[in-house]
Structures are given as structure tokens and as C-alpha cells.
């Protein structure tokens, strides 16, 4: 066989190829993202719209129904569902699994922009969110004050100082805060004052909205500089809002004459406590496809720096997804090593030769590490499914080498030299080994092309098994005969001191003949 003969004649060349495969595999293993499940995109997009003060019927008729009608015309949409409640609308758009999730979300945004003019003007801009399991928090950190500081004060500190530091970490997609009180300027209208001055509540709302808009003012040429003018409409102090002038039938009145304006906070619906003390919780989300364990380690390192810089705050990790992921991956790798050890033990029991066993299992780490190189090239991740496939493959990837080396060993027992035995033994079983390997590939590879959501999860399973078995076939035709040719001892054959004659007699119908074989193997 040409490939095995080349490996026997050029051992350095084959050794370099195997070494390169191991080096690339180790680099891919260190850089490969680690996660619990495969990175699967769900083409589900949610459109949420807030219509303050509207009843569920109004939300359904004026918001949910127009958005539904716009969504059903998008190519690839399988299902559209909506839920309308008081002041709130949610429209779920489900696409075919073949659709790219990011492109599907972009199509939804374009349709929302087309129908925006038909929606009520006083709604908040519809929010388009793509469902992605990778957006679940990797870490949740509770932040509390050392001296009993108020939760609302802690929240502002976390938003201003802590979150920007965490969001700049490589691999972090976003971080948000739950708990505490959010600042809100509140305007409490007085019915008697409105009635006395004959000002409608809607006039007050429109006046506040109109004064809160920043208006561009053109540009001014100053020497060689072109300065842009803009009229800011943001209120900097509560007193500025209280002195807002509103035109009414009885003349100009101030907002303070019609309402009570004060600096307050939003209605709190979420409470966070750490050991019974008020706290806020910062949730960190990783980027899709990034390494969960590496992102969590980077966040923990940054938190350690923040603890030294901010002794007035205490940081406690209350939820860490990376710990579970790391333990699961380590357990899977441990099971992989146990499987390799048990396979080597079985080979030794049947071969009853330590040298032959070591040469047989020498290609096992090369195959496993080489599989990591191909996994990295295919964009796969280290997860429970891919490692399960690799652990299952241990018993399959060693079969080719066992068949080849057993046949080589049989030729050497006949007295052939290791090089001749390696060449002839590999050539004799080349087609059976090839047929056996392709049979396994034909069984597991179609799993990678299974449709539906389950097929997406098990895509890495089929690919990993097929890749590992194909690499084992290459190893059986190259490394196996090369090691056998240079690391096996030649069996010695001598004549016995006392000749032993074994006579075999056969009598065919046409007549009889007698043959004798004299000799023995030392």
C-alpha cells in the first residue's frame, strides 16, 4: 500500500506530520470556546411595545394587530403570536431554523420601521430582541455598601463606576443592574389648580415634552472654524422644571403653580438583599461564541481589582454559570481519559505483549488531539455533546490500529522482518479497515445534517465522531506501520535440536498424497 510504504520509508516525514497535528490540536484546544451546550441560534424575535395608559383592547387593536400584519409578510416566518395587556404589547415571531437569527432580527426591524407611522404617536419605540441562550447571565454579582449605604446610592455608583469597567472586558457583551431605586423627577398635578386656571393635563404633558426636545440651530462660521449650534432641552435641576411656563386661557403660569415637582424615584418592583442588607445585583452577559470560563475568570479578576480600589463596597458572586460548565467539561475529559486507559488495558489483555500494546495505543492521543484541531477549524466548541462524542469514539478510533498491528504481528511471527511485515500486513487489511471506517462514518455523519432543533444540538456529535474515525484511519495507515517497522522486534526462527515431523494426510477422490513439515519456531 503506497501510504503505508511511504510512512515506512520516510519515518521522519510522518513523524513531523503527526507532531504538527498535535501542535495545532493543542493550540485549538486552548483557544476553543468552552460552554455547556453547543452554540445554537434560535430564530425567535420578540417585539415589545409600551403604550402607557392604554387598555388591553386598545393595545391589541392599535399596536399588536398592525405589527402582526407586518410580520407575517416576512419570508421564512413560521408563526406569529402576540400578547396584549395593559400598556404593554409583546409579539413573538418564529422563523424557520434555516434562517440566520441576526438577519431575521434585521428583517423585523425593517418592517417595524415601515409600520411605525401607522402606530400611535405616543407609544415608546418598539424594542426588537432576539432570543439567544447565550444572553443568559454568566455571572451575577451582588454589590452592597460596607457602612449600610442606601441601595439607591449603591445603584448609582455601580452604574457610573462599576458597569463601565465590566463592560470593557473582552468577551463581555453587556452588563446591567437589578435592584435599588432609579431616580425619577415626578410631577403631581393638582386638580384644583388646573381647574382654577383652566389648564388641561394634556397641555402640561405637551409643554414638558416640547421643552425637553433638543433643537438643532444650524452652524456659525467663526474664522476658519464651522461651529454647530444646538439648543439643548434637558432640565438640569428640579427648579428649572418647576419654573417651566405654560400658556393657558388665563395667561402664562408656572408648572409649580399647577403641580408639585419633586426629585423622587421610580416605583420599585425588584428588591435585592445580601445577608439581609440592601444591595444591587449586576448581571454580566457574554458575547455569543465566546469562552464562558475565560470570560468569568476575567470578570472575577476585575472584581478583585475593584474591591481593592473601592473598600466602601463589597462584591459577592451569587451566581456563577462558569463553575458548572467547567466542572461538567472536566468530568467529561476525565471520563475520556478513563475510557482510553480501559481500552489500553483490553488491548494488553488480548495481545499479552507490553511493547505491542504501547505501540498500538501510541496513536490514541494523536487522534484525540488532532480531532481538536479539526473541531476548531469547523467552529465547534468544547461542550457536553462534543466531549461525549469524543469519549464514545475512543473505542472506535483504536479499532483500526488494532486490526493493522495484529496482522503485522502475525506476519512477524512467521519470521518476516518488521519492515516487510508492516508493509505486507497493512496492505492485506487495507480494504477491510477502510470499509469498517467508512461504515462508521456513514452511520454517524448523517446525524450532523439532521433537521430541527435537536439536529442543531447533535450536529457536533456526528461531526466529532466522523472526524475522529477518519483521523484514526489515517493514523492506522501511516503511524501504525511506521512504529511497527521500527519498534517491533523481529521474531527469531531456528531448527529444533530434535526434529519433529508432523504429517498431514489427505485423500481426494482422484487419489492420495502425503506431505510432511519438519521444523519448529524457537
- 149 by DSSP, 3-state: which? coil
Per-residue pLDDT of 137-192, as tens digits, reads 888 888 887 765 555 577 878 888 888 888 888 888 888 888 777 777 888 888 88
Distances (CA, A) of 179 to 23, 192, 267, 279: 48, 37, 11, 7
Which helix (H) or strand (E) segment holds residue 115: the answer is helix 101-115
Radius of gyration, alpha carbons of the chain: 37
Q: pLDDT tens across 339-393, in order?
A: 888 888 888 888 777 877 888 788 888 998 999 999 988 888 888 888 888 888 8
CB 180 within 8 A of CB 202: no
Given a contact cutoff of 8 angstroms between Cβ atoms, the answer to whether 188 and 260 are in contact is yes
User: Lowest-confidence range among 67-71, 222-226, 310-314, 483-487?
Assistant: 222-226
- DSSP for 228-294, written as a single string: EEEE-----SHHHHHT-EEEETTEEEEHHHHEEEEEEEPPP----EETTEEEEEEEEEEPTTS-HHH
Question: Percent of the chain scored above 70 by pLDDT?
Answer: 89
> Which pLDDT value is given to residue 495?
42
3-state SS of 376-439? HHCCCCECHHHHHHHHHHHHHHHHHHHHHHHHHHHHHHCCCCHHHHHHHHHHHCHHHHHHHHHH
Confidence of residue 505 (pLDDT cuts 50, 70, 90): very low
Measured distance CA(155)–CA(279) in Å, rounded: 8
453-481: average pLDDT: 87
pLDDT tops 80 at residue 201? yes
Query: What is the pLDDT at residue 517?
Result: 40
Q: CA-based angle 176:180:185, to the nearest 5?
A: 100
Residue 233: left (phi > 0), alpha (psi -120 to 50), or beta?
alpha
Residue 518 pLDDT class (50, 70, 90 cuts): very low
- Provide mean pLDDT across the span 70-98: 86
Percent of the chain with pLDDT over 90: 6
pLDDT beyond 60 at 3 = yes
Q: How do residues 446-455 score in pLDDT, each as one tens digit?
A: 888 877 777 7
> Mean per-residue pLDDT for 494-498?
46
The helix (run of H) or strand (run of E) holding residue 176 is strand 172-178
Return the closest-CA partner of residue 124 out of 192, 33, 203, 52. Answer: 52
pLDDT at 149: 54
**Which DSSP symbol is given to 74?**
S
State yes or no: pLDDT of 506 exceeds 50.
no
Dump strand ranges (E) for 256-404.
259-265, 273-274, 277-286, 313-320
pTM tops 0.75, yes or no: no
Residue 24 has pLDDT above 90, yes or no: yes
Pick the range with the lowest mean pLDDT from 4-13, 210-219, 323-332, 438-447.
210-219
Instruction: Tell me the average pLDDT across 240-251.
Output: 81
Does 134 score more than 70 pLDDT? Answer: no
Return mean pLDDT, the chain.
Answer: 81
Q: Measured at the alpha carbon of residue 460, what is the angle toward residues 455 and 462, in degrees to the nearest 5? A: 75
Is the Cβ–Cβ distance between 163 and 241 less than 8 Å? no
How much is the average pLDDT of 67-94? Answer: 88
Can you read off the three cell numbers belonging to residue 240? 428649572
* Confidence band for 19, pLDDT divided at 50, 70 and 90: very high
- Is the pLDDT confidence value at 501 over 70? no
Report pLDDT for 233: 64
Q: Are 455 and 449 within 8 A, CB to CB?
A: yes
Q: Which of 162-171, 214-223, 472-481 has the lowest mean pLDDT?
A: 214-223
From the number of C-beta atoms within 10 Å of its C-beta (0-12, 13-18, 19+), residue 362 rates as: middle
What is the number of H-type helices and E-type strands within the chain? 21, 17
- Which grid cell sits at 369? 488531539
Amino acid at each position: 500500500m503506497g501510504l503505508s510504504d511511504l510512512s515506512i520509508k520516510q519515518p521522519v516525514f510522518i513523524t513531523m506530520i503527526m507532531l504538527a497535528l498535535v501542535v495545532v490540536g493543542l493550540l485549538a484546544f486552548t483557544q476553543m470556546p468552552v460552554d455547556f451546550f453547543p452554540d445554537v441560534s434560535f430564530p425567535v424575535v420578540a417585539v415589545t411595545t409600551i403604550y402607557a395608559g392604554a387598555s388591553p383592547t386598545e393595545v391589541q387593536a392599535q399596536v399588536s394587530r398592525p405589527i402582526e400584519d407586518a410580520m407575517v409578510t416576512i419570508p421564512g416566518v413560521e408563526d406569529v403570536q402576540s400578547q396584549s395587556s395593559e400598556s404593554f404589547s409583546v409579539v413573538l415571531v418564529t422563523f424557520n431554523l434555516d434562517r440566520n437569527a441576526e438577519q431575521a432580527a434585521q428583517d423585523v426591524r425593517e418592517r417595524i420601521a415601515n409600520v411605525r407611522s401607522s402606530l400611535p404617536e405616543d407609544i415608546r419605540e418598539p424594542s426588537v430582541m432576539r432570543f439567544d441562550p447565550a444572553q443568559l447571565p454568566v455571572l451575577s454579582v451582588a454589590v452592597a455598601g460596607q457602612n449600610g449605604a442606601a441601595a439607591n446610592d449603591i445603584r448609582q455608583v455601580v452604574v457610573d463606576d462599576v458597569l463601565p469597567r465590566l463592560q470593557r472586558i473582552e468577551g463581555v457583551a453587556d452588563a446591567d443592574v437589578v435592584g435599588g431605586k432609579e431616580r425619577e423627577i415626578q410631577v403631581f398635578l393638582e386638580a384644583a389648580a388646573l381647574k382654577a386656571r383652566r389648564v388641561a393635563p394634556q397641555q402640561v404633558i405637551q409643554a414638558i415634552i416640547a421643552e425637553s426636545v433638543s433643537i438643532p440651530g444650524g452652524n456659525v462660521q467663526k474664522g476658519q472654524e464651522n461651529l454647530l449650534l444646538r439648543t439643548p432641552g434637558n432640565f438640569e435641576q428640579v427648579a428649572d422644571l418647576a419654573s417651566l411656563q405654560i400658556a393657558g386661557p388665563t395667561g402664562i403660569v408656572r408648572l409649580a403653580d399647577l403641580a408639585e415637582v419633586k426629585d423622587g424615584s421610580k416605583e420599585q418592583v425588584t428588591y435585592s438583599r445580601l445577608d439581609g442588607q440592601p444591595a444591587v445585583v449586576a448581571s454580566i452577559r457574554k458575547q455569543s461564541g465566546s469562552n464562558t470560563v475565560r470570560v468569568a475568570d476575567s470578570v472575577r479578576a476585575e472584581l478583585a481589582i475593584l474591591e481593592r480600589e473601592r473598600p466602601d463596597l463589597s462584591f459577592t458572586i451569587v451566581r456563577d454559570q462558569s463553575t458548572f460548565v467547567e466542572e461538567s467539561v472536566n468530568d467529561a475529559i476525565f471520563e475520556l481519559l478513563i475510557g482510553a486507559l480501559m481500552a489500553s488495558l483490553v488491548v494488553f489483555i488480548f495481545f499479552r505483549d507490553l511493547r505491542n500494546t504501547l505501540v498500538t495505543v501510541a496513536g490514541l492521543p494523536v487522534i484525540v488531539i488532532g480531532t481538536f484541531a479539526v473541531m476548531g477549524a469547523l467552529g465547534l466548541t468544547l461542550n457536553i455533546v462534543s466531549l461525549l462524542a469524543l469519549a464514545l469514539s475512543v473505542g472506535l478510533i483504536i479499532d483500526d490500529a488494532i486490526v493493522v498491528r495484529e496482522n503485522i504481528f502475525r506476519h512477524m511471527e512467521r519470521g518476516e522482518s518488521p519492515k516487510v511485515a508492516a508493509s505486507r500486513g497493512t496492505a492485506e487489511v487495507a480494504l477491510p479497515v477502510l470499509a469498517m471506517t467508512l461504515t462508521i462514518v456513514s452511520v454517524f455523519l448523517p446525524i450532523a445534517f439532521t433537521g430541527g432543533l435537536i439536529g442543531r444540538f447533535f450536529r457536533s456529535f456526528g461531526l466529532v465522531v466522523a472526524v475522529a474515525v477518519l483521523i484514526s484511519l489515517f493514523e492506522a495507515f501511516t503511524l501504525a506501520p511506521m512504529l511497527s517497522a521500527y519498534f517491533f522486534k523481529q521474531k527469531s526462527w531456528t531448527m529444533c535440536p530434535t526434529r519433529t515431523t508432523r504429517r498431514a494426510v489427505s485423500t481426494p477422490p482422484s487419489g492420495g498424497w502425503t506431505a510432511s513439515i519438519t521444523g519448529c519456531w524457537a
